[in-house]
């Protein structure tokens, strides 16, 4: 009986490839694991193109990171991101397997490290508007008399 299980396993591996470790996680992060991801954008966010500056800033901050693009996004939407990655000489990969999905909420791109970094947050909408506490405090201290008057009067 064990021979039959081994034979079935061998045939399944030959037909479908070896089983993936954490397939749902790999589907979500375009073939890699969450612990390696630095930035995550959905297909919808890629197509809108509103986070180009956040993408450029992430690549500038981490010159050794790579990018994985979801090919289901469409080349017209990927073009500006590919140009940024190319101009900064960053390695990138385009994956287009049905395994990765093509819904608007599916991952459109991930910026990854070669090893585990466990960075939080990774979603672009959370990272793009993140301000360091020191910068936020400095902005509060720079209130002018005019802004204080407008605030007091309710404008």
The number of angstroms, rounded, from the C-alpha of 72 to the middle of its chain's C-alpha atoms is 15
Asked whether the predicted pLDDT for residue 9 surpasses 70, the reply is yes
pLDDT, average across residues 132-150: 57
Helix (H, G, I), strand (E, B) or coil at 22: coil
| Two tokens, residue 24 | 């749902």
Comparing 46 with 19, the larger pLDDT belongs to: 46
Res 143: pLDDT: 62
CATH superfamily of 31-127: Ribosomal protein L30/S12 (3.30.1330.30)
pLDDT of residue 129: 59
| Cis amide linkage into residue 121, ω under 30° from 0 | yes
Instruction: Judge contact between 42 and 107, C-beta under 8 A.
Output: yes
């Amino acid at each position: 009986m064990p021979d039959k299980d081994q034979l079935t396993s061998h045939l399944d591996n030959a037909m479908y490839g070896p089983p993936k470790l954490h397939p749902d996680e790999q589907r979500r992060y375009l073939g890699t694991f969450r612990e390696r991801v630095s930035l995550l954008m959905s297909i919808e966010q890629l197509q809108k193109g509103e986070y180009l500056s956040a993408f450029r800033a992430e690549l500038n901050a981490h010159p050794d990171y790579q990018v994985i693009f979801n090919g289901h996004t469409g080349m017209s939407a990927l073009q500006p991101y590919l140009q940024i990655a190319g101009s900064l000489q960053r390695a990138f990969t385009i994956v287009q397997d049905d395994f990765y999905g093509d819904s608007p909420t599916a991952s459109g791109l991930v910026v990854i490290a070669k090893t585990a970094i466990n960075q939080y947050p990774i979603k672009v909408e959370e990272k793009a508007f993140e301000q360091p506490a020191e910068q936020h405090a400095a902005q509060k201290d720079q209130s002018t008399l005019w802004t204080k008057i407008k605030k007091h009067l309710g404008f």
